[in-house]
Structure 1
Amino acid sequence: MNAIATGAEPTLAPFAAPDTIGVLVSDVTRLLRRRFDAQARSIGVSRAQWQVLIALARSEGINQAGLAERLDVETITVGRMVDRLEEAGLVERRADPADRRAWRLFLTPRAHPILAELQVVALGVRAEMLAGLSAGDEAALQGLLLRLRGNLSVREGAGA
């Protein structure tokens, strides 16, 4: 018999616990992205646009498949996003010298002022997120998050 049928107090299912580390990380990520989105929209940049521009700023010359993997979207989706950014004069495709079928992606000079504005937005949102934390708290949090990412990256790289 289950807890409801017996009248006993039900225990929380593992996914119902409100403040597990996974839930908190997910909530913080969602809220951070939402706050950044609102600020980026105020300078005329959509989520899809800022995600591609920032990813390219970190890895200029990446191909569309690599960018799709980095953004966790389908290659066809990245193709459409890049099409729009190319039409806006912010991104350019260059033939991959090692693979005639592939294109490498690069930012144009027109993208750099937008990235500078996004950097200002990022610094403001970061300051808001870290309000009330000491430098030591921030360093400890960053160290723990790096360790968590490393733990998951090792597993992912091993095919787990």
Structure 2
Amino acid sequence: MVPGGADDRAGGSGDVPTADAREIADAVDCLVHLWSTAAQEATVRLSPHQLRALRVLETAPELNLTGLAERMDLGMPTASRLCDRLEAAGMMERAVHPQRRREVQLRLTAHGRRVLRDVAHRRAQALAEVLRGMEPAERAALTRGMKAFFAAQGGSTGRHP
């Protein structure tokens, strides 16, 4: 009997959610590799933190440094250095808030938006290539399963940074 395999579930001796989790973890590892490889093939190479920061700024325009740090669960010095690197690369800019002069907003630049589009396009292409190898019923089941996963973890099926 293979731990986590079909025998583990069929025999009733194993914990079904745990066995499923082991199998899903393997698939997630493959997806993470596919995702990061596609991102690294983009015209501009970004660290996972840099890419995530751009995604956060895309979904929450004009966020301040504190907001970015909170959303990314980073300390303020780390978030500040991350923004320094993104600003130096021309992907985001700092601007004084029009109503609260002491607050600095973080904004994506046109270059930052292009980089995000490039990464998203490459990721979609890589994922589509894998999905083409699946039967339509398998793709539909995967889609239903992912929607159920997002709902169970309290999320939604929308875009996540």
Same fold, TM-score > 0.5, yes or no:
yes
2:141 match: secondary structure: helix
1-structure distance, mates of 2:100, 2:24:
39
Which residue does 2:92 correspond to in 1? 91
**Number of aligned positions between the proteins:** 136
Provide Cα deviations, 1:27-64, integer angstroms capped at 9, x if missing partner.
Answer: 55554333222222222322222111122111111122
Identity fraction in percent: 25
Which residue does 1:36 correspond to in 2? 35
| Structure showing greater relative contact order (alpha-carbon pairs closer than 8 Å, 6 or more residues apart) | 2
143, 147, 160: which is aligned to 2:147?
A: 143
Structure 2 portions without partners, runs of 5+: 1-14, 156-161
132, 135, 142: which is aligned to 2:134?
A: 132
Which residue does 2:12 correspond to in 1? none
2:95 match: secondary structure: strand
**Which is higher, the Rg of structure 1 or of structure 2?**
1
TM-score (norm 1): 0.66
Which residue does 1:45 correspond to in 2? 45
Structure 1 portions without partners, runs of 5+: 1-13, 152-160
Amino acid at match of 1:132: M
Matches within 5 A, 1:1-16: none
Give yes or no for contact 2:92–2:112 (8 Å, CA) kept in 1: yes
| C-alpha RMSD of the superposition | 3.0
* TM superposition shift of 1:66: 2.0
Deviant stretches of 4+, over 6 Å = none
Which residue does 1:55 correspond to in 2? 56
2-structure distance, mates of 1:28, 1:68:
30
Amino acid at match of 2:63: I
TM-score (norm 2): 0.66
Provide Cα deviations, 1:42-101, integer angstroms capped at 9, x if missing partner.
Answer: 223222221111221111111222222322322221111110110111101122356555
